[in-house]
Amino acid sequence: MTIAATLIEGDGIGPEITDATLRILDAVGAPIDWDEQVAGVGALESVGTPLPDATIESIRRTHLVLKGPLMTPIGSGFRSVTVALRQEFAMYANVRPVRTILPGQRYENIDLVLIRENTEGLYVGYETTIAVGDDPKAVAQSTAIVTRVGCERAIRFAFDYAVANGRKKVTICHKANILKAVSGLFLDVGREVAQEYQGRVAVDDVIIDACAMKLVVDPWQFDVIVTTNMFGDILSDLMAGLVGGLGLAPGANIGEHTALFEAVHGSAPDIAGQQVANPSALVLAACMMLEHAGEPERAKRVRDALEHTVREGIHTTRDVGGNGSTREFADAVSNRVS
């Protein structure tokens, strides 16, 4: 059965790592019918908007997206395209797993998942500046919006994810000691939802700053972490550092009807076109997409081949200690799955 999916190759290194990912998916025989669309700076330059209607309509048809990293135009008044897509399609849960692949790291045997509420908090973009005297930007104001419905669906997703994937514990990460309204609501809802999973999933909670410290000192005490939008954005990068960096960090954005899969890292325009970018994060995101679309066997073959190639170290890119190019790494993984 053919899987219909929207493909957005992205900006900067996006075309290179997307090409590498597609070659690996072709090698494993992934039955995907791609509808190629544009977004980000490339779309702004070609069609005058960073999020064209054609891209939105494609996603409405396929409900499944593989997306390369996008740049947000600076000083143009446009907001993040990725955030806009999450909100447009109500992709309320951001799943960011980190797992030890690269040998010789400071932390061994890391296997953690962060579930991030994906549509609310400070990232709703309710911001304004206030003029005082001759200074038009004397005061800047940003409003965080957190709803009971938003908290509950993200937290419930985290507990359901834990049950479905054999995870033992969910940690609710918050700042309810200071942000008593917005973070307090998240913690209260988390404790309410946790009661429904008693006997199946253990639960605890931790303040965000303590969580960051504990992740560095003893990350093995965690299993699944669920938190609010901005906290999750920050913690997931910290967690990627435990396993070798953002080049190995995939992400999924899940809604009731639509799912978008992407690398956690940015577009890295400083190395674009040089064939030195690590495609692993996007390849691993494609594995998550295959699993979501009912192709777990192909996902496992790709993931196993990628992990073997990384551990072997012959064709890895320079960010993980190798000298291989993006294309050479993709070829090495492709040869193992074909």
Q: Which two tokens stand for residue 201?
A: 């999933």
**Catalytic residue among 11, 35, 205, 233, which?**
233
Task: Tell me the DSSP string of 291-313.
Answer: HHTT-HHHHHHHHHHHHHHHHH-
Where does the chain show beta strands of DSSP type E?
A: 3-8, 32-37, 64-67, 93-99, 111-117, 121-132, 135-145, 169-174, 202-207, 224-227, 250-254, 259-263
Question: 222-250 in b/e burial notation, b at 16+ Cβ within 10 A?
Answer: bbbbbbbbbbbbebbbebbbbbbbbbbbb
CA–CA separation, 237 and 142 (whole Å): 23
CA–CA separation, 230 and 180 (whole Å): 16
**Catalytic residue among 135, 204, 209, 218, which?**
209
Note if 233 is an active site residue: yes
**Catalytic residue among 11, 175, 319, 331, which?**
175
Q: Which two tokens stand for residue 77?
A: 């008044």
Sign of the dihedral defined by the CA atoms of residues 119, 122, 123, 125, in that order: positive
Note if 209 is an active site residue: yes
**Catalytic residue among 123, 205, 319, 331, which?**
123
Note if 123 is an active site residue: yes
CA–CA separation, 334 and 338 (whole Å): 6
Task: Tell me the DSSP string of 125-150.
Answer: EEEEEEEETTEEEEEEEEEEE--HHH
List, in order, residues 6 or more apart from 207 with CB less than 8 Å away.
173, 174, 175, 176, 177
Note if 214 is an active site residue: no
CA–CA separation, 190 and 195 (whole Å): 9
Active site residues: 123, 175, 209, 233
